[in-house]
């Protein structure tokens, strides 16, 4: 079996025992990227030389006996909305084509400090707006389980890369589900940590009060190790939590759910969910119950307004965040015909540089914030946000973790929802509440739906700062499911597999 099928934790052990070198792993990983990326479009930029130079460096340090971090030498993919010195960063937008950032995001800095070679920058919906990567200015990524389908969005580049062995681990960002939804539809593990657990410095902002960076992986332990590597307080982000949340790696070693109270969210089950999704979800719960967990039903009535509230707050914040793309400071500049004033250059650049979804949200957000409508739209949405936080707080009085399917359906077809923004938005029903409340969420693969043989994800939520609970329950469920499914969960499109 090739290195590229190994998990990050396996690679970490093999590196530590000097069974393999980082250069060998990184080269194998790059070879697989060269083979698959032209078919799947997971990466917008592949940084061959940079990755190999970093790998060589870490190998030399190890040879010298230097003390290295757990993930040292394990290559990683980074979503293209994180700034990287010397590496083009576009956030999936034409307006940033060719932009080479002069600074690193804190998360990138931590990756470098951990000595993880950076394989490249992954594809995404433009400015992380979307659920399918179809809004990327550079074409969609494809789902390795079925190339006619979406790998989810906005982080479909990272999810498809990890699912197809083009990286063992990747960085994602989650404003309304962009780590968890892609994880669900590609059979990978995706975690949105507690708001503020990971610094947002250098993350190209979408909705600043919702954005959170997190890990994408093929198993719970890998995600835990990565979360540990990238989280912690940061003076460069005023919203970063002042304290550390403890070791997720330790939490992921948990082997018991005895006495754990799991709350099923009534509003996020049953009607509106694909039968095969509900079936796999229920099976996962049955396994947890058989291992000693207790199921309680909780109700979060305000969730029915979550999508409406999110699609006011997020565009409102985006309209303000995206004002900086003005043709003066970053990327593209388009000269209009005739006499050019600053205003005309700005308008021509934004007209050409932004795609339709970005324009839609800027218009929506600007409207929702305009003086006559501020209270009616933005104000009401903020009130709903408070209700959602209250509903979750009440639910967490009854249960240690909450659970629902991550998404109503398995991966949808490319083109299926692209012409209908509302249909695309509705897809986010289960993931958005966590962002509005700032609580952590994990999507975990729970098997394949019987109608279409495509991956199904279950989502666990925990109270703010209690990310460890997700890793604890995730680790146990993963083991229970492995026994049930064995290899099948990685049975994606045969022509893409590595044997």
| Count of residues interacting with ligand GLN (CB under 6 A) | 13
Nearer Cβ to ligand GLN (340/413): 413
Specify the residue, 129 or 444, whose C-beta has the smaller distance to ligand GLN. 129
190 makes contact with ligand GLN (CB under 6 A):
no
Residue 11 in the binding site for ligand GLN (CB under 6 A): no
Cα torsion angle, 140, 42, 45, 229, sign: positive
Q: Does 176 bind ligand GLN (CB under 6 A)?
A: yes
Measured from the CB atom, the residue of 117 and 202 that comes closer to ligand GLN is 202
Select from 77, 132, 142 the least CA-distant residue to 495. Answer: 142
Do the Cβ atoms of 433 and 308 come closer than 8 Å?
no
In this structure, the dihedral spanned by the alpha carbons of residues 403, 417, 162 and 495, taken in order and rounded to 10 degrees, is 120
Nearer to ligand GLN, 273 or 310 (CB): 310
Min dist. Cβ of residue 499 to ligand GLN (A):
34
Q: Which residues are catalytic?
A: 79, 154, 178
Tell me whether residue 77 or residue 129 sits nearer to ligand GLN (CB atom): 129
174 lines the binding site for ligand GLN (CB under 6 A): yes
**Contact range with ligand GLN by CB under 6 A, out of 9-17, 173-181, 347-355, 478-486:** 173-181
d(CA 274, CA 410): 8
Q: What are phi and psi of 443, to 5 degrees?
A: -105, 135
Q: Site for ligand GLN (CB under 6 A): which residue of 131, 319, 406, 409? A: 131
Per CB under 6 A, 123 contacts ligand GLN: no
Query: Which of 75, 101, 120, 130 is in the footprint of ligand GLN by CB under 6 A?
Result: 130
**Shortest CB 493 distance to ligand GLN, Å:** 25
* 428 counts as binding ligand GLN under rule CB under 6 A: yes
**Closest listed residue to residue 88, CA positions, set 60, 53, 121, 55:** 121
Closest CB to ligand GLN among residues 129, 448:
129
CB 428, min distance to ligand GLN, A: 5
Residue 206 as a binder of ligand GLN (CB under 6 A): the answer is: yes
Residue 229 sits in the site that holds ligand GLN (CB under 6 A): no
For residue 444, list its beta bridge partners: 458
Residue 357 contacts residue 421 (beta carbons within 8 Å): yes
Q: How far apart are CA 486 and CA 489, in angstroms?
A: 7
Which listed residue (194, 314, 400, 410) binds ligand GLN by CB under 6 A? 314
Residue 80 near ligand GLN by CB under 6 A? no
- Does 177 contact ligand GLN by CB under 6 A? yes
275-290 and 467-485 helices, crossing angle to 10°: 100
Least CB distance from residue 330 to ligand GLN, whole Å?
20
Q: Phi and psi (nearest 5°) for 242?
A: -75, -20
Choices 102-110, 127-135, 156-164, 231-239; region in contact with ligand GLN by CB under 6 A: 127-135
Q: Is 136 one of the binding residues for ligand GLN (CB under 6 A)?
A: no
Give the length of the chain: 499
Interaction with ligand GLN in 149-168: which residues (CB under 6 A)?
Answer: 154
Task: Give the residues lining the site for ligand GLN (CB under 6 A).
Answer: 128-131, 154, 174-178, 206, 314, 428
């Amino acid at each position: 079996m090739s290195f590229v099928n190994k998990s990050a934790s396996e690679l970490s052990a093999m590196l530590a025992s000097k069974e393999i070198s980082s250069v060998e792993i990184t080269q194998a990983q790059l070879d697989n990227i060269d083979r698959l990326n032209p078919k799947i479009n997971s990466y917008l930029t592949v940084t061959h030389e940079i990755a190999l130079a970093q790998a060589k460096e870490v190998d030399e340090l190890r040879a010298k006996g230097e003390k290295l971090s757990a993930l040292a030498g394990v290559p990683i993919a980074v979503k293209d909305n994180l700034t990287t010195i010397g590496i083009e960063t576009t956030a999936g937008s034409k307006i940033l084509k060719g932009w080479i950032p002069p600074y690193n995001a804190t998360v990138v800095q931590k990756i470098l400090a951990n000595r993880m070679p950076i394989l490249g920058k992954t594809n995404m919906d433009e400015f992380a707006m979307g659920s399918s990567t179809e809004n990327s200015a550079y074409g969609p990524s494809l789902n390795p389980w079925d190339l006619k389908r979406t790998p989810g969005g906005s982080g479909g580049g990272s999810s498809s890369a990890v699912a197809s062995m083009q990286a063992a681990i990747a960085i994602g960002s989650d404003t309304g589900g962009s780590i968890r939804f892609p994880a669900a539809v590609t059979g990978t593990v995706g975690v949105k940590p507690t708001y503020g657990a990971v610094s947002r410095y250098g993350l190209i902002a979408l909705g600043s009060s919702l954005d959170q960076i997190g890990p994408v992986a093929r198993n719970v332990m890998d995600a835990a190790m990565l979360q540990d590597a990238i989280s912690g307080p940061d003076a460069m982000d005023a919203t970063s939590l002042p304290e550390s949340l403890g070791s997720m790696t330790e939490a992921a070693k948990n082997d018991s759910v005895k006495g754990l109270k799991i709350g099923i969210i009534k509003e996020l089950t049953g009607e509106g969910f694909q039968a095969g999704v509900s079936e796999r979800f229920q099976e996962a719960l049955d396994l947890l119950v058989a291992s000693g967990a207790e199921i309680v039903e909780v109700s979060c009535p305000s969730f029915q307004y979550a999508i409406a509230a999110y699609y006011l707050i997020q565009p409102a914040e985006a309209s303000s965040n995206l004002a900086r793309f003005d043709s003066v400071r970053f990327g593209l500049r388009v000269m209009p015909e005739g006499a050019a004033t600053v205003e005309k250059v700005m308008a021509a650049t934004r007209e050409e540089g932004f795609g339709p979804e970005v324009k839609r949200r800027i218009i929506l957000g600007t409207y929702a914030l305009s003086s006559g409508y501020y209270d009616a739209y933005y104000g009401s949405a903020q009130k709903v946000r408070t209700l959602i936080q209250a509903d979750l707080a009440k639910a967490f009085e009854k249960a240690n973790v909450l659970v629902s399917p991550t998404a109503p359906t398995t991966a949808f077809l490319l083109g299926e929802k692209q012409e209908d923004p509302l249909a695309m938005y509705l897809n986010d029903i289960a993931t958005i509440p966590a962002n509005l409340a700032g609580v952590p969420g994990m999507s975990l693969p729970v098997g394949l739906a019987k109608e279409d043989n495509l991956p199904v994800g279950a989502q666990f939520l925990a109270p703010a700062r209690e990310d460890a609970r997700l890793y604890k329950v995730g680790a146990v469920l993963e083991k229970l499911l492995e026994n049930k499914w064995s290899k099948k969960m990685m049975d994606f499109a045969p022509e893409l597999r590595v044997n």
